[in-house]
Structure formats: structure tokens, C-alpha cells
Amino acid sequence: MNIGIDFDGTIPNTQKWRQQYLLKKHSILVMEAYRLTKEELVPKIGKKAYAEMVTAYDRSSVLCNIPPHPGAVDAIQELAKDNRLYLITARTPDEIGRAAEYLETFDLRKHFTELHSTLDKPATCAALRVDTLIDDRRTHLRKQDVCFVPHMPDELFADDVSHMNAWEHAPKYVGGKHATD
């Protein structure tokens, strides 16, 4: 099986880093990690401040010190045993090197067959014959994909979306199946 995995917000725990950054730089406390999306933050801090936050996070010295989500390393290792993994990220070709560096830092690069930079994740998944994409942004998902939003209560997911709120559930969700199916 071919599995695509998003990078930002899906592997590194950028949500926790954003919580700390927003509190320190803007005195904004966001308790729910799933409320740290661009769509939720830009109205609160503005486009310029959001861009500054992303730039600060994307420095190699910062990014490589952000730990993976709990369970991500084990789940990726488990998924890689019987599947081909592809990193499919909206990062530009110039930025994908930092994602590769991050994967190396946490000994994950060896589990990915290829790294892909794209703004059209569904088309890239189709071209690579990816069966399931694990992504933290629902806008990138197809019917068979899995939405990963850490710590988001199950009742806040739409009924038509296969979802998981912890990496430990990933092996159960491969193929777009909810663990209870």
C-alpha cells in the first residue's frame, strides 16, 4: 500500500511550538491545539505576524528542535514495515530540504520512498497512486484519506471524515478505515 504523509503539523508537533510562541510574542493563550491553523490565527494576530511566526518556526535551528508528535516515530516505523511512505508537503522545493533535515534528525528519512513538494496534494497522491494521505488539514483530503488533528475531540470531526487524534491510531486507519469500522 502507498501512504502519503504530510509534514508540517502532522509529523513535528508545531502546534505545541505555536502555543508557546503565541504566548511569548503576543500574550495569546490558545488552549486547544487544533485551533492553531492559519485560518484561526490570521484573524487574531494578522497576516504579517502569522508570516513572522512561520518564518521563525522554519529556521533549521528551531524546526529540528521541535519534537515529533507523541507516537509519530513509532507509527511511521510501523507503517513503513509493509507500505511505501511518501512525504507530501505544501512546502516549496526550496523548503523541502529542511523537512528532509528534520526527518534525518529523528531517524525517519529512511522510511520515506520519496519527498514531494506540491500545492495540489490530491493530484500528487493520484499520480503516485497513494492509497491514503494522512494530513492535518482537511482541505487537502480525498474521501479515502485520514485527517490527523492532534488532541481534537472526536465529536468535532465531521461524520464523513476518517480521522485520528493521536499517531498511535495510525496503523488502524490506513486505507481510510476508522478504527471502529
DSSP secondary structure letters along the chain: -EEEE--TTTSB-HHHHHHHHHHHHH------GGG-SHHHHHHHH-HHHHHHHHHHHTSHHHHTTSPBPTTHHHHHHHHHHHSEEEEEESS-TTTHHHHHHHHHHTT-GGGEEEEEE-S-HHHHHHHHT-SEEEES-GGG--TT-EEE-TT--GGGS-TTSEEESSGGGHHHHTTT--TT-
In a domain? residue 118: yes
- Residue located via cell numbers 482541505: 139
97 and 155 belong to one structural domain = yes
List Cβ neighbours of 139 (8 Å cut-off, separation of 6 or more).
none
Residue 137 counted as domain residue: yes
CATH of the domain at 8: 3.40.50.1000
- Domain containing 123: what range? 2-12+68-173
Q: Are residues 24 and 106 in the same domain?
A: no
Whole-prediction pTM = 0.84
Asked whether residue 74 falls in the same domain as residue 133, the answer is: yes
Q: Is the same domain home to 168 and 99?
A: yes
Is the domain of 78 the same as that of 47? no
The number of folded domains in the chain is 2
In this structure, are 158 and 133 located in the same domain?
A: yes
Computed from CA positions of residues 136, 139, 123, 98, in that sequence, does the dihedral angle turn out positive or negative?
Answer: negative
39/106 same-domain check:
no
Residue 76 and residue 155 in one domain: yes
Q: What is the pLDDT along the chain (181 residues), one digit of tens a residue?
A: 999 999 988 999 888 888 899 999 999 888 776 677 788 889 989 999 999 998 888 876 888 889 999 999 999 999 999 999 999 999 999 889 999 999 999 999 999 999 999 999 989 999 999 988 888 877 667 676 777 766 566 665 566 667 777 788 888 777 444 333 3
Shared domain for 53 and 80, answered yes or no, is: no
Q: Is 55 part of any domain? A: yes
